[in-house]
Structure 1
Amino acid sequence: MSTPERPFASYHLWSLIAPTAGQQHWHCQMRRGFIKVRQHEPRVKLLLGKATASQRIGLLAQKGIYEFHYNQQLLDQSDGVEKVAQLLDLGNTTDEVQHRVLQILHKYHSQPLLLGKRIVLLTRGDEGFPKAILIESKNYSFRLYATMDCVFAESDNTLHILDFKTGKSPFDRRQALVYLLAARYLYPGYRVVASFYNLEFIKQSEIIHMSESELDCVELELANIAQKHQIDVHSCHTEEDFPDIFPPNPGYHCRFCPFHSICEFSQTI
């Protein structure tokens, strides 16, 4: 008999299960169902494969930062932005994407946040699914997924996890908490902090740090989320089960959902 797969947790799953403060009226559990249960259905897979303008901007911005530091001489060159834009093939993107990414590149070129930092990790953003961190205790066991944009070392050897943002969405502190929990396993023995940095608005968040007891609470919360999601997935056997386990929350916000065209509960008028 095969061993049942361990449940998993991530910031993305946390955000799909529980809304950020003040956003309850926007939140729809059925979106989680489409993303995590019906993702292999042809119509759902097609919609999931379509990157939005915001997603493309975020990915290209991350790649741009990577290129600036992989080829650090570009930060000193007057045409550095143009060269990075060529590496990103920005000419084959939409006008909106090209305009916003170019603005981001120009701002970073003039104020390179990571210049002079001891960079431990800097990702391109397209590396694929991260390796799971196995978390086990006497009361629970789950896989944790956490993809970090950047980690650098401060002068006192504190590790600083930095997450790059674009657009107007507010920073979600829960994402930093997941990173800090992951760092407890990836970088044992180090003091670790986390923050967000919006590349479009040159805005940095507060520095976030957690005590060991606070991280224990985050770990337990994620263990509960992992368990809940696994139960929901295993309970969904038929199409009739789907709306009961992943209840819809129709409203004006449906028009911003990627699944509105195939969701029978969608209200887009």
Structure 2
Amino acid sequence: MSTPARPFVSYHLWSLVAPARGQEHWHCQMRRGFIKARQHEPEVKALLAQATPPQRIGILAQKGVYEFHHHLQWLTQSDGVEKVAQSLKLSNFTFQVKQRVIQILQKYQKSPLLLGKSIIQLTPGDEGFPKPILIEQANYCFRLYAAMDCVFIESDSTLHILDFKTGKSAFDKRQALVYLLAARYLYPGKSAVASFYNLEVCQKSELITINNHELASLEFELANVANKHQLDLQKYAARSSNFSQIFPPNPGNHCRFCPFNSICEFSTYNPAKSHSMPIIRNS
């Protein structure tokens, strides 16, 4: 008999289980169900494979930073942006994606945030799942996934974990906290800080820190998130017909931006229909 898989958690899963502050109104658990419980179904798998323009821009922008620092001479060459654009094969993308990425590359070449930093990790953004960190305590055990964009060492030997952003989305402090917890295990004994940097508007966040007591509380909260999700997956495996009870929907105007609106029976917006009528639910 096979051993059941240990519960797992990541910032992405945490954000699917619990909304960020101020986003409770349009948070939908059914989205988590599609992404985490039904991801192998052909229709769901096809939708998950379709990156949106904002997603493509984010991935390409991060890869552009990686290419600049992999070929440092491009940061000072007049055709450096063009060379990075060629390495990213930007000509294969839509005009909107291409233009926004070009603008991001131009801004980064003009003000390269990481130039001169003691970088110990810089990822291209398309490397897939990182190796999980096994966290074991007396009363819980789970796998933590934390894909960090960049880690460098400050002059005072502090580890600085940097996450790149694009677009207009607000920074979610929870993502930085997950990285700081991961750093506790990946770089034991090292002092660490985390921050965000929006490559499109050249905006830095405040430095985010966490003490040992807060780390312990965070770890316990993530264990609860991991266990709740694991239990939901087990319930779905036992009775898939209970999908909407296990992962309850929250239909509304936000359905327009959900990648699953074309296959979700609860969606108030279906792009395949010329007229999308709001669903009336019994109170």
**Same-fold call, TM > 0.5?**
yes
Letter in 1 for 2:117: K
Letter in 1 for 2:246: I
The separation in 1 between residues aligned to 2:203 and 2:43, in whole angstroms, is 38
Q: Deviations over 1:35-61 (max 9, x none)?
A: 000000000000000010011000000
Is the aligned partner of 1:259 residue 2:252?
A: no
- Residue 240 of structure 1 deviates from its aligned partner by 2.4
Count of equivalent residues = 269
- The SS at the match of 2:129 is coil
Which residue is 1:200 aligned to?
200
Letter in 2 for 1:219: E
Which residue is 1:54 aligned to?
54
The separation in 2 between residues aligned to 1:239 and 1:248, in whole angstroms, is 15
Which residue is 2:81 aligned to?
81
Q: Deviations over 1:56-80 (max 9, x none)?
A: 0000001100000000010110110
Letter in 1 for 2:106: H
TM-score with structure 2 setting the length: 0.94
- The SS at the match of 2:162 is strand
- Residue 267 of structure 1 deviates from its aligned partner by 0.1
Structure 1: which 5+ residue stretches go unaligned?
none
- The SS at the match of 1:16 is helix
- The SS at the match of 2:241 is coil
The separation in 2 between residues aligned to 1:10 and 1:114, in whole angstroms, is 26
Over 6 Å off, 4+ runs: none
The separation in 2 between residues aligned to 1:144 and 1:20, in whole angstroms, is 19
The separation in 2 between residues aligned to 1:90 and 1:185, in whole angstroms, is 37
Question: Percentage identity across aligned positions?
Answer: 70
- The SS at the match of 2:194 is strand
Structure 2: which 5+ residue stretches go unaligned?
270-275, 277-283
The separation in 2 between residues aligned to 1:3 and 1:84, in whole angstroms, is 46
RMSD: 0.6
Alignment of 1:1-269 (within 5 A): 1-236=1-236, 237-268=238-269, 269=276
- The SS at the match of 2:185 is helix
Q: Deviations over 1:119-177 (max 9, x none)?
A: 01000011111100000001000000000000000000100000000000000000000
The separation in 2 between residues aligned to 1:239 and 1:224, in whole angstroms, is 23
- Residue 238 of structure 1 deviates from its aligned partner by 3.2
